């Protein structure tokens, strides 16, 4: 049985991916900051072996200790889904909050590096593995007030490409999924709990659901070993570009 390690599995894309991969026969390491949600997920997936790790990807020591604590059954990770990330604020750069900048760069970029660095030794030792980084259309299309978030996702895109080159000699597949508008807790976090403002983001069109992204990830990780679906841009039908959406 293959092992999938999913960050940010307590909600949204991460949670939906855990459900999809459990159905595909993977055993799971699910991680996040909200243990109670991870426990609910494990309960829902009864019948699938699930190991819970609680940590913040921005805390390098916590990441290293958590991965080192994996029991033997889960220690040989076959698939790593770097999903944890965040967006904070939507302000022009001159008015941006440095605390928001730190949260995005630490979570979206450094967190991805910390988790990958902790998981990779077991993959390189076995000369097999698959890493999927969750990016965003914002990594390739700038939009007003997106500054640091766009920059962090552009970094994810470039890291994916360079990781693929670095890990090529070790037979490790590296890929990226770049969603457009997905209705998750993303906007609630970005707007700091302002639910009315968050709801406006998805009004007037049908956005992607987390399950739509999870379906794509499930397809990617179940391809034959000689196939790497290296990059996917995923939009709802109503979206043509980062900020171009047809609304009713």
Sheet holding 50-54, edge to edge: 50-54, 27-32, 3-6, 79-82, 129-134, 172-179, 231-234
User: Any idea where the domains of the chain sit in the sequence?
Assistant: 3-183+209-233
For 80-113, the pLDDT digits (tens) are: 999 999 999 899 999 999 999 999 999 999 999 9
- Tokens at 217, concatenated: 């990830």
Q: How far is CA 71 from CA 66, 149, 178, in A?
A: 10, 35, 32
Distances (CA, A) of 106 to 57, 83, 227: 8, 14, 32
pLDDT reported for residue 243: 93
| Domain 3-183+209-233: CATH architecture, name and number where available | 3-Layer(aba) Sandwich (3.40)
- Report the distance separating Cα 198 and Cα 205, nearest Å: 14
How confident is the prediction for the chain on average, in pLDDT? 95
CA distances for 64 relative to 77, 103, 107, 242, angstroms = 14, 19, 15, 35
pLDDT band for 193, please (50, 70, 90 cuts).
confident
> Is the pLDDT confidence value at 197 over 80?
no
User: What's the pLDDT tens digit per position in 137-170?
Assistant: 999 999 999 999 999 999 999 999 999 999 999 9
The pLDDT assigned to 188 comes to: 67
Model pLDDT for residues 199-215, shown as the tens digit of each residue: 788 999 999 999 999 99
Q: Check: CB of residue 77 under 8 Å from CB of residue 2.
A: no
114 is catalytic: no
Active-site annotation holder among 114, 143, 149, 202 = 149
pLDDT > 70: percent of the chain: 97
Q: Kindly indicate the confidence band of residue 191, based on its pLDDT and cuts at 50, 70 and 90.
A: low
Least confident of 40-44, 73-77, 144-148, 184-188: 184-188
- Which DSSP category does 110 fall into? I
The answer, yes or no, to whether residue 8 has pLDDT greater than 80, is yes
């Amino acid at each position: 049985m293959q092992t999938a390690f999913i960050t940010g599995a307590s909600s949204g894309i991460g949670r939906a991916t855990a459900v999809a991969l459990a159905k595909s026969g993977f055993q799971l390491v699910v991680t996040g900051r909200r243990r109670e949600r991870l426990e609910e997920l494990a309960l829902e997936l009864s019948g699938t072996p699930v190991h819970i790790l609680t940590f913040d990807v921005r805390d390098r020591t916590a990441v290293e200790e958590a991965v080192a604590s994996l029991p033997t059954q889960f220690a040989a990770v076959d698939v790593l889904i770097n999903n944890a990330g965040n967006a904070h604020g939507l302000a022009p750069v001159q008015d941006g909050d440095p605390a928001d900048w730190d949260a995005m760069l630490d979570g979206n970029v450094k967190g991805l590096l910390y988790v990958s660095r902790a998981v990779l030794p077991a993959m390189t030792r076995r000369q097999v593995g698959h890493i999927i980084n969750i990016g965003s259309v914002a990594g390739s299309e700038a939009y007003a007030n997106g500054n640091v978030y766009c920059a962090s996702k552009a970094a994810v895109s470039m890291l994916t490409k360079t990781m693929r080159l670095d890990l090529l000699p070790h037979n490790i597949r590296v890929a990226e999924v770049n969603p457009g508008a997905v209705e998750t807790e993303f906007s609630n976090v970005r707007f700091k709990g302002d639910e009315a403002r968050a709801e406006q983001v998805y009004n007037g069109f049908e956005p992607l659901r987390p399950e739509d992204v999870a379906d794509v990830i499930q397809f990617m990780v179940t391809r034959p070993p000689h196939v790497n679906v290296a990059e996917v841009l995923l939009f709802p039908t109503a979206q043509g570009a980062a900020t171009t959406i047809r609304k009713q």
